[in-house]
Amino acid sequence: MASFDKNVFINCPFDKDYTELFRPLIFTILYLDYRPRIASESFDSGEARFTKICELIENSRLSIHDLSRIRASEELEYYRLNMPFELGVDIGCRLFGSGKAGKKKCLILAENPYEYQRALSDLSGFDIKDHSNNAESVVRQLRNWFVEVDRLSPSSASQIWGDFNDFLSDFYDKRKSEGFHSKDLDMMPVPEMMRFMQDWLNNY
Find the mean pLDDT for residues 6-35.
94
Find the mean pLDDT for residues 59-80.
78
Q: Residue 16's pLDDT band (boundaries 50, 70, 90)?
A: confident
Residues 141, 32: Cα–Cα separation, whole Å: 13
Q: Residue 84's pLDDT band (boundaries 50, 70, 90)?
A: confident
Q: What is the DSSP string of 40-81?
A: GGS--TTS-HHHHHHHHHHT-SEEEEE-TT-S-SSTTPPP--
Q: Give 184's contacts (C-beta < 8 A, 6+ positions apart).
A: 175
Predicted pLDDT at 40: 76
Q: Check: pTM over 0.75? Answer yes or no.
A: yes
Which domains does the chain possess?
2-202 (3.40.50)
Residue type at 18 in one-letter notation:
Y
Percent of the chain with pLDDT over 70: 84
SS3 11: strand
The DSSP output letter for 107 is E
Predicted pLDDT at 41: 73
Predicted pLDDT at 9: 98
Across 28-32, 45-49, 55-59, 179-183, least confident range: 45-49
Evaluate if residue 42 carries a pLDDT over 70. Answer: no
Q: Residue 145's pLDDT band (boundaries 50, 70, 90)?
A: very high
Could you report the per-residue pLDDT of 160-186, keeping only the tens digit for each? 999 999 999 999 999 999 999 988 998
Could you report the per-residue pLDDT of 104-139, keeping only the tens digit for each? 999 999 887 666 666 676 666 677 899 999 999 999
Predicted pLDDT at 8: 98
Evaluate if residue 93 carries a pLDDT over 70. Answer: yes
